[in-house]
Amino acid sequence: MDIELGSEDLAFREDVRGFFAENAYKAGEDYNVWRLEWFKKAAQMGGWDVPKWSKEFGGPGWTPTQHYIWEQETATATLPWDMPFGIGMVAPIIMAYGNEEQQKRFLPDIRARKVNWCQGYSEPGAGSDLAALKTKAVLSEDGTHYTVNGTKIWTTMAQIADWIFCLTRTDDSGIKQEGITFLLFPMKQKGIEVKPIITLGGAHSVNMVYFTDVSVPVENRIGEEGKGWTYAKGLLQHERTGLAGISRSIVALEKLKEQASSVKRGNGSLMDEPSFRAKVAELEIDLMASEYTELRSLASASAGSAPGPESSILKLKGTEIQQRIAKLTVEAGGIYSAAWGRGVGHKFAKAGMGGYLASRAFTIYGGASEVQKDVIAKNVLGLKRSTT
């Protein structure tokens, strides 16, 4: 055990910093042109556009320490926007369970950020109990295509997505985890209707998605029919570790300190108030520990073993920390946090409330906290429940 960065790692960090500085967005530039160009250049660095992809599929094949350095540096640099659904969620499934033809067909466009994806898992009756999903896919008699009917809910960014990866039911005769099939299909086609759901604060990011006789060629099925649950579970693990956002929280906490220092209290600032300081300190301590929990998890993942028990707590801890930071930001804004859509008083207060409201979903999506704890109790601690 050793926490010193070696000379190679230090050199890598310099390279990363250099790359971010050199390719930073310059005022006046066409954002979209810059964005795509950025990913191209990152690709030329040897897979920096897809840090988490394996070497086999064009990823950089970094060591855990390099991943850690990348995470740290990206938290402070301004990277082009990116959605997790393609690069981080469906791509790993296609790599692991898709056939070669599907890999050739889908991965290059995902990598080039040409296609926006959305995740069609949850349904009105299937949230935490995802395996209860009912969206039906029926294979045609000639075996060439599925006909999909059903309703998805909470589909993030369905309104702009080109493609959806979707869990469908092809068999309901056995236990519910069996008979689920993983399909990919375009969103802009006959039979698909997207209706917005407005969340707290007026944002439109999630949707209801209705399928009426949507036709999906059988070539768009990932793996075997009826095995979709196994594939999706692997993906959920990816999604969850990605949601902890520890490095981002470290940066967010530093920002909160600055903001609180700008709020005058008597002769000092809010940061001088013992009770506020203590809450910030508690967060800092939790983050110090979480940073190393993440590192341990990274190390065991790269050693080829299954994610260790420590990885299971990252989503829970990480999202809770994000919520606490969001809430303290609102607290720091005082009464000015209440002004809606308009900066009044402290400059940061305007964004604070929206951030806080959005943060309440962090412990709901990607596995609600209560259910995550059930999973840890069962899978990690090996506990049984005598009653429901």
Partner 1 sequence: MNFELTNEQQMLQDSVARFIQDNYDLESRAKSAASKSGFSQDHWQTMADLGWLGLGFDEADGGFGGGHVDIMLLMEQFGKGLVLEPLLASVILGGGALKRGACAELKTEILPGLIDGSRQLALAYAEEQAHFDLHDVITTARSKDDGFIINGHKSMVLHAGTADQIVVSARTSGGQIDENGISLFLIDADAEGVKRENFPTVDGLQACEVTLKDVIVGSNRLLGELDDGFAILNNVATDAILALSAEAVGAMEILYKDTVEYTQQREQFGHPLADFQVMQHRMVEMFMEYEQCKSLLYRATMEAAQGSATTQRTVHALKHLVGKSGIFIAENAVQLHGGMGMTEELRIGHYLKRMIVIDAQFGNADYHLQKFAA
Ligand X SMILES: Cc1cc2nc3c(=O)[nH]c(=O)nc-3n(C[C@H](O)[C@H](O)[C@H](O)COP(=O)(O)OP(=O)(O)OC[C@H]3O[C@@H](n4cnc5c(N)ncnc54)[C@H](O)[C@@H]3O)c2cc1C
Residues at the contact surface with ligand X, assessed by CB under 6 A: 119-122, 127-128, 154-156, 206, 361, 364-365, 368, 370-371, 374
Q: Which is nearer to ligand X, 119 or 319 (CB)?
A: 119
- Residue 93 in contact with residue 239, Cβ under 8 Å? no
For 42, the token pair is 């990152």
How far is C-alpha 374 from the geometric centre of its chain's CA atoms? Answer: 21
| Pairing of the two strands 117-120 and 163-169 | parallel
Residue 335 contacts partner 1 per CB under 8 A: yes
Choose among partner 1, ligand X, none what residue 119 binds, the Cβ cut-off being 5 to 8 Å by kind.
ligand X
Q: CB of 161: closest distance to ligand X in angstroms?
A: 9
Considering only residues 129 through 188, tell me which ones interact with partner 1, judged by CB under 8 A.
Answer: 129, 132, 153-154
141 burial class (0-12, 13-18, 19+ CB within 10 angstroms)? Answer: exposed
Q: CB of 184: closest distance to partner 1 in angstroms?
A: 24
Q: What angle do CA 275, 277, 282 make, to 5 degrees?
A: 95
> How many CB atoms sit inside 10 A of residue 84's CB?
16
Residue 270 contacts partner 1 per CB under 8 A: yes
Q: Which amino acid is at 311?
A: S
Cα–Cα dist 200/321, whole Å: 20
Paired residues of 123 in beta bridges: 126
Q: Which is nearer to partner 1, 70 or 154 (CB)?
A: 154
Q: CB of 160: closest distance to partner 1 in angstroms?
A: 20
Whose CB is nearest to ligand X? 127
Residue 152, CA distances (Å) to 146, 222, 225 in order: 17, 19, 20
Q: Which is nearer to partner 1, 45 or 203 (CB)?
A: 203
Choose among partner 1, ligand X, none what residue 362 binds, the Cβ cut-off being 5 to 8 Å by kind.
none
**Which residues of this chain interact with partner 1, rule CB under 8 A?**
122, 125, 127-129, 132, 153-154, 197-202, 206, 263-266, 270, 273, 275-276, 327, 330-331, 333-342, 344-346, 353, 356-357, 360-361, 363-365, 368-370, 373-374, 387-388
